[in-house]
Each structure stands twice: as structure tokens, then as C-alpha cells.
Chain A
Amino acid sequence: MAKEYETVIGLEVHVELATKTKIFCGCSTAFGGSPNSHTCPVCTGMPGSLPVLNKQVVEYAAAVGLATNCTITQNCKFDRKNYFYPDNPQNYQISQLYLPICRNGHVDIELEDGTTKQIRIHEIHMEEDAGKLVHDEWDDVSYVDYNRSGVPLIEIVSEPDMRSAEEVIAYLDKLRLIIQYLGASDCKLQEGSMRADVNLSVREAGSEAFGTRTETKNLNSFSAIARAIEAEKNRQIDLIESGEAVVQETRRWDDNKEYSYAMRSKEDAQDYRYFPDPDLVPVHISDAWLEEIRSRQPEFKTEKMARYKEEFGIPDYDIGILTDSKKLADLFEATTAICSQPKKVSNWLMGETMRILKEKEMEPEDITFSPENLAKLIGLVEAGTINGSVAKEIFEKIFDEDINPEQYVEEHGLKQVNDEGALRATIEEVIAANPQSVEDYRNGKEKAIGFLVGQTMKAMKGKANPGMVNQILKELL
């Protein structure tokens, strides 16, 4: 009989913080920019340069710690992690080992079977990102771009509390939501502003001891994480079943080949010679400062859901989706505040907005249109100034360019035709031109009316009031 195995997973999650400037100098963290245009003596490791801590990094890290029930280390320190690589200009990374800013936290994740599970957080620490190597395509040389060097990161280290890909994804999604709500990062796996390394081991079901773990890197989407977990679990079980040992090592996932390969084993592991960075003084987070950070914590998903139910009376399903993104929730609240039509706003966000996002492979965080223009669009429909299909067309314009719909309707003559005389004249023409459909309808083919409505709308360039068209058609037939 085959043995049963349990998978044990812990995560190391790196999150790039949304500060305007780098962690130890005043250089911009903006993406893009020609190579080395966002650099100075500090982030390029020039002799004699010194780091100065960006306070915003401490505030973001502490805010994430508070939201994940961590204890905040009110006297924390930075340490140097020494290793040579050209993307690391000082050949040491400033990080935290001995006294990280947050420890002993947890988050609760909701699973598909309706249960919740607590995932413990070992620590959260602050550190600097490295630069980027650019390898010449033709020549055997590499160049270094230090624009990313010194961009602030936090690393969230969980305890080995997860048992499946589902739990891992639920945990990551929970972290993403919390951090996005805090505005501490946009948390995009694809773009690397959130990166997860998976520590995984397997053990016989019922065993208390941990197996030998591996760390898998280069996971750029939730689906890649799920595939990598499945593959690594199976690889380890196969090794054990065939009597071989799992080697403690770091592996790199190739999502195209759906295969991971070993990068380095524990034996090759470098000695980072960590020690407290003498250039930085200990960070003292006073009670008052901590209280200030605490008082600025936003309303998170759970509280928001309860409030929406009470305040807006929209369905639970809508609430779930709207609050799953800070951006959507903010947009919902701002638009509703203008037009006082929560259900209508929700319909636009859940329907057309989500449809276009999916079509364009965008995230809600990428939305650029304003609540004002969505509110105006809803107002135009409610007033009967435009019909539903015209509204959908205009919405696409709003989504892309944030146009003012009132002005647009005016300029393009898109007002709905409610003039019964004009409608009747057009419908009479349509009836005359389509005797077959008229015949079909009269013979009991109800559906034929749809064709005639369509022809009328077409003749009136979509601006006809659809309710009136239906009514007049039925009357004339």
C-alpha cells in the first residue's frame, strides 16, 4: 500500500515598497529611466558615501507588521549581509538579521471549504534591493544598471504552516490585500513588486518531524506557484519512494518547461558574515510614533465588507468582489458618494469594468478613470438621456481616456431618441422593408420581433429608446 505524504510549506515573500525615494538615499524609485539615471554616490557604493534611512520605509514596514498581528521591535537594527556580486555595489546588502522590525505575527486565511486557518509570520524585515545586470546580446560583456539598487523591500517570512498550494495562494492573496490596502506596495507578482520563494518539504502523514526542505525561486504568478508546488512535492516524494535523499538546496522554477533545476546546494551556501551596520544608528520607534502609525491604519477588507452591507445594501457577492481590491473599493465609494446609486455603481464595476480588465489583461490597480465621469455616465442613463448600449460604448471611452461623458454625448449627438413621431416613422419604414419578418411574427414566431428592433436601432444609429421601439413595433404589427 502506498504511503501517504503531507506537504509542509513556508514562504519568504519580498515586497517592494511604494516610497518615492530609495531606502538609504534621495534617488527616485520610479520604474524605467535610462540606466543609472536614478543613482548617486550612496546607491552606487562610492567610497566615503553613507546611508541615511528613509523613515517612510519604517512606517510601511511597521504598518504591515501591525496589520499582520506582529510585535513591533521598537529598537531594531540594520545588519550587513556580505556577498560579492556586481549588482550589489557595496558587495554587502543592508538588511536585518538580528533585530528585524516585526516578529511573531499571523494572518487568518479563508479556505474554499469555508474554514479559516491561521498562518504564523516568523518575522518581517527591511532591506535594500540590488541593481540589474544587462548582458550584451552580441558581445561577451555585461553592464550594470543601479537604478533599482537601494529600492526598499520588506521580506515577510512565514512559519512552515501551509500544507497545499491552495493555502499558499490564499496566504499570498491575504498579504497582497493587506499591503495594497495600506498603500505600501502595488504587489504585482508579474512585475516583481511581490516575489515569493517557496520552502517545501514532505513527510509521511502523521509524522511530527520535518523532512529536508528545498527553496524554489522565480515564481511569477499564482498559477506558476501552484504548478511549482505540485512539481516539487512530486519530485520529493519520488526521491523518497526510490530510497534517495532530498538534498537541501535552492531551485529555480522554469514555468515554460514546468520544471525546476538546482541552483545551489547547502554545501555551496555562502557565509554572509552578517554584522550590525556601523553606518546606521539603531531605529527607535517610540510609543508615540507607533501610535501614530497605528492610528493611520486603513479599514481592511473584513471591516469594509461589514460596513458595505449595512451602508449600501448591495449583495454579498458584489461586496466580496468590490472589496477584493482597494482600488475598486475606493472607486465604488467615491462614485457612490457622488451619484448615490450604489447598486448601479457596483453593476458598472462588476460588469463592464471587470470585462474590460480581463480582456486587456489588466489588474483593478491599473484603472485610471475617475469616479466623477462614471457618476456622470450613470446620471445620463438614469435621466434617459442615453440608452444602455450607447452607455456601454461611452464607458469604453471613459475606461481608456477618462473622457467627460456629458461633453462626449453632446459633441457626438448620442442623445437617445424619445420622440414618438420620429420612432414611428422609422419603424414603419422597417416594417415595409422586411415583409418576411413581419409575416413570421404574425405567424407566431415571437423572436422575429428582435430582428425588427435591431433593424430599427441600426436605422437610428443605436440612439432609439429601446423600450419605446418595442412598444410601437408591437402596436403596429
Chain B
Amino acid sequence: MSLLELTAVELAKEIKAGKTTAVEAMKAVLEQIEKTEETYHCYITIDKEKAMQAAKEAQEKIEAGTLTGPLAGVPVAIKDNLCTKGVVTTCASKILENFVPQYDAEAVVKLQEAGAVMIGKTNMDEFAMGSTTETSAYGVTKNPRNPEHVPGGSSGGSAAAVAADECFFALGSDTGGSIRQPASYCGVVGMKPTYGTVSRYGLVAYGSSLDQIGPLCKDVTDCATIMEVIASHDLKDSTSVERKDTDFTSALVDDVKGMRIGIPKDYFGEGLDPDVKASVLNAVEVLKAKGAIVEEFDLSLVEYAIPTYYTIAAAEASSNLERFDGVKYGYRAKDYEGLHNMYKKTRSEGFGPEVKRRIMLGSFVLSSGYYDAYYLKALRVKALIKKAFDEAFAKYDVIIGPAAPTTAPKLGSSLSDPIKMYLSDIYTISVNLAGLPGMTVPCGTDKNGLPVGMQLIGNCFEEKKLIQTAYTYEQSRKEN
């Protein structure tokens, strides 16, 4: 059996047991990258020497007994909007083409403490704005399940790297579905935790009130293990929450008896691909057979989630991205006359079209005279969406639906119609608006063999219910 077939947790156990080493694992990953990266283009930056050196150091510490973490020696890929000390962090944008952070993102620090070894930085939609990883300034990533299709986005590089065995697990970020949707398209497991669970320090902000970092990985056990490592109360992030219930692996229990599962009818209506619908409902049947109580309900307000999300996320993005101005770091236009012209040329040349579209949209909804009509109204709808979920979670432990209306679209078919692309986020974005945890697990394929993901949504701080439900489902698939 190839090392690459191991999950992150399995690999860590093998390394710990002395059956293999961190160096062997890194070598295997780099060889795989050598073979497939040209086709899939999962990464923006890979420093093989640095990765091998880090693996060697990790192995020495493991042998010396000073590194005993649950991910000790496991190669990991990091989305390129997470700051990595001394390693260029581009956010897939030209405007940060030469930006080398002096600090690591807190989530990266936590992984390092647990012994994971970084391979490189994965491709993404520019500043996480996009659903296909096609808005990257550094080329598109292809779906390893079928290279004619997109891997999803914005964490497409991370999802594809896991699917292509170009890493053992990856970190992504999720502002409106950017972990759950690519996980669905690439057939891997992904989780967006409750807002505030993973520190955002060092995550280059897109929509600050919605952004969360989370894992993309091979199975539910890996997901729970990684979550346990990266969840932390960080005083450097004012929105970080102190939680005492981050022992997520304790929820790896094969049992859903009495678990109340709500199926929102609004998630299964018009626009949903019939193959996706069938796969997800099949998975629900499996859970029902294992003792879960399943019930349909009306979630309501689903149709308002998209305009609400694009108003709030774009507003925050328009402000968050102001710091990229050519003054302090990153790209600066070559020829300019005076300060104003420098700003204008730098930002015109440095940002891609999708980022510019959202900056303009966000600036508009915040402008004087429109603030109340758009931004404030969006905040009110956001509160109503949260309320609708609160009511649902009074009745259900877990809500299940699809992660996306379709399987992965073909390359080049999405960007020409941004509204259609925005609509494809319909099942994921309300989770960010309400700050809830959401998780995607593979639940089959469509008629073309493309993966379908089932999305599990939980109440705030109830990741464990998601993990338990997903784990139970995963066990039943292994049995068959």
C-alpha cells in the first residue's frame, strides 16, 4: 500500500510507530506533486528543499520524543491567504506577488506546534473571491476527479491537493462556502467551524465578519483531529471565542440513534441537479436507517441569503482591501505621476476583474445615501436568517442538504455569468451569515462520475454533532 493512501491520522500513527518517517511521507508527496502538479496546478508556491528540511527536523524531534502531536510529521498544504513567515503569501493576486509576511497565521502556528510540516501554498480565487479557483492571477486549478472541470473555490487548490494526494490534508478558508463547496466538487471532507473558533489572525481578510479557517481532508477522523489542533482562543483576534468543548475527536462515535435531522425543503427545490438531490437524499436514508429521526421543514429566507451575503461581504472587502495601495508592500505600478495616480494605477493593474467588481459593489453599498438602504438592510436580514436557524435548531440537532446545486462545472463555464456563479453559493452562504458550523462529506457521484457532497449544518458550537453524524455515515459507506 502506498503511503499516499493513508489518512493524516493514520500516517501520524505509522510515523510514531517507526514504520515510516516524516521524511518518507514528504518525499512521497513531493514525488506525487512531480507527477500530477503540472496537470492540476494545486499550488502557487512550493519550496521542496524547505519542505524536506522541515520534514527532517520534525523527524528528529519525533525520534527525540519532543514532538508527539497527533499530526506530527504529516505534510500539509496551506491556502495562500494564510500568512506564512518567510514564505510569499499572494492571495492569488498580482498585488501581493512579492509579499513575504514576517509572521505566521495563528492557525499555522497551531499546526506547527502539533508537528505538521508545510509543503507549500495552495491556489485559490483571488482574495477568496470566486467559486471556481479561476480568478487566480496564477492560473486555474483543475479538478483531480476530472481535469476538464473546476475544483470549486475559493479553496480550490487546497481541495484539489487533498483529492490528488498532493498533500495529506490542507487548510482553507470559508467566507460563503469556500471550504464546503470545493470539498463537495473534489470529493473530500471539509469543515467551516463556528465563527470565532479558529483565530483569524494572519488570515488575509475578505469578509471579516464571515471568514473562518477550516480543514480540507480525507475523512471525518482527520477533520475532527485537525479541528482539535487549530481551534484556539487567541487574544490577538477580538472575535475569537473561548471554548472548552474543542475535544472534537470525542465525537467520532458511530451512532445517530435519536439524532434529530432537519431537511430544509427550500434546499431541494428548483435549480438543484437531480443527481445531487438523489445522492444527498440517499445519504439521509442511510442515517435514518441507523436510527436518526428525519423530518422536512421550511427554513425560509433562503432566497434572501445571496443578496445579503454579497452586500455584507463586498462592503467589508471594499474596506479590507484598501490597504493594498502600493505604499507599504506588494505590487506598485511602474510609471505614475503623483500619489493619486500611483494608487489608481497600482490597484487597476494589481487587482483582477472579480475583485474589482466586489470592491465597487462594496463601496457602493457603503456610500452616503445608500448605506441604510443596502448595508443596514442586509445586516437586518442577516439577523433574521440567524433567527430562522435558531428556530430550526430548537427542533433539530443537524440540518442536512446539498453543499452546491450541481457537481463541478466545466472549466471556463462560470466566469462569463457572475450572477449565475453567485447563485451557486445558495446552500452555503447562510451558514456564514449565521456564524454556524458547516461540514461537507462525500456522498456519491453524479452520472458523469463527479463527486457529490452532503452538507451538514449545526447550531453554534455544535461541531461535535456534525462530526458524529458525518462519522456514522462514513462508517456505513466503509461497511458497504
What is A's interface to B at a CB cutoff of 8 Å? 41, 44-53, 80, 82, 84, 86, 89-92, 144, 271, 273-275, 278-281
Contact = CB atoms under 8 A, between A and B. Distances in A.
B282 interface: no
A48 B319 contact: no
B478 interface: no
B399 to A, nearest CB: 25
B436 interface: no
A149 to B, nearest CB: 11
Task: Name, among B82, B204, B322, the residue most crowded by chain A CB atoms within 10 Å (CB to CB).
Answer: B322
Contacts of B315: 275
Task: Name, among B239, B325, B329, the residue most crowded by chain A CB atoms within 10 Å (CB to CB).
Answer: B325
B200 A50 contact: yes
Contacts of A278: 207-209, 239, 316
Interface string B23-37: 000000000000000
Interface in B221-244: 235-239
Interface string B76-107: 00000011000001010000100101110100
A273 B105 contact: no
Contacts of A280: 238
A274 to B, nearest CB: 8
B319 A80 contact: yes
Contacts of B316: 275, 278
A275 B89 CA distance: 28
Contact of A273 (B99, B237, B329, B367): B367
19 contacts: A45-B328, A46-B101, A47-B83, A47-B323, A47-B324, A48-B83, A48-B201, A49-B201, A51-B238, A52-B237, A80-B319, A89-B323, A90-B322, A90-B323, A91-B325, A273-B318, A273-B368, A275-B319, A279-B239
Contacts of B212: none
B125 to A, nearest CB: 16
B366 A48 contact: no
Given A41-B103, A44-B328, A47-B323, A86 B89 contact: no
Contact of B339 (A50, A86, A271): A86
B343 A273 contact: no
A273 B319 contact: yes
B375 interface: yes
A69 B274 CA distance: 66
Contacts of A271: 367-368
Given A82-B322, A86-B339, A48 B105 contact: yes
**What is the interface of chain B mostly: helix, strand, loop, or mixed?**
loop
Nearest to B315: A275
B319 A82 contact: yes
**What is the interface of chain A mostly: helix, strand, loop, or mixed?**
loop
A275 B375 contact: yes
A50 B366 contact: no
Contacts of A44: 328
B367 A91 contact: no
B438 interface: no
Contact of B323 (A45, A52, A53, A281): A45
Given A51-B238, A278-B208, A86 B327 contact: yes
Nearest to A279: B208
A41 B102 contact: yes
Nearest to A45: B323
B371 interface: yes
B363 interface: yes
Contacts of A279: 205, 208, 238-239
Nearest to A91: B322
A200 to B, nearest CB: 25
B203 interface: yes
6 A-B pairs with least C-beta separation: A91-B322, A278-B209, A273-B366, A278-B208, A48-B202, A47-B204
A46 B328 CA distance: 9
A294 B109 CA distance: 41
Contacts of A275: 315-316, 319, 366, 371, 375
Nearest to B376: A275
A101 B238 CA distance: 18
Nearest to B367: A271
Contacts of B209: 278
Given A48-B202, A52-B238, A275-B366, A92 B319 contact: yes
Contacts of B323: 45, 47, 89-91
Contacts of A273: 318-319, 363, 366-368, 371
Given A86-B339, A275-B366, A46 B329 contact: yes
A295 to B, nearest CB: 27
A436 B96 CA distance: 93
A89 B328 CA distance: 8
Nearest to A271: B368
A50 B322 contact: no
B322 A84 contact: yes
Contact of A144 (B235, B327, B375): B327
A267 to B, nearest CB: 14
Given A91-B325, A281-B239, 20 more contacts: A41-B101, A44-B328, A45-B328, A46-B329, A47-B99, A47-B204, A48-B83, A48-B200, A48-B201, A48-B203, A48-B205, A49-B202, A50-B201, A50-B237, A82-B319, A90-B322, A92-B322, A273-B367, A273-B368, A275-B366
Interface string B303-332: 000000000000110110011110111000
Nearest to A281: B238
Given A273-B366, A275-B375, A279-B208, A50 B238 contact: yes
Interface string B194-206: 0000001111110
A275 B313 CA distance: 13
Contacts of B200: 48, 50
Contacts of B101: 41, 46-48
B366 A47 contact: no
Contacts of A80: 319
Task: Name, among A82, A144, A275, the residue most crowded by chain B CB atoms within 10 Å (CB to CB).
Answer: A275
Nearest to A86: B327
Contacts of B204: 47-48
Nearest to B207: A278
A47 B322 contact: no
Contacts of A46: 101-103, 328-329
Contacts of A45: 323, 328
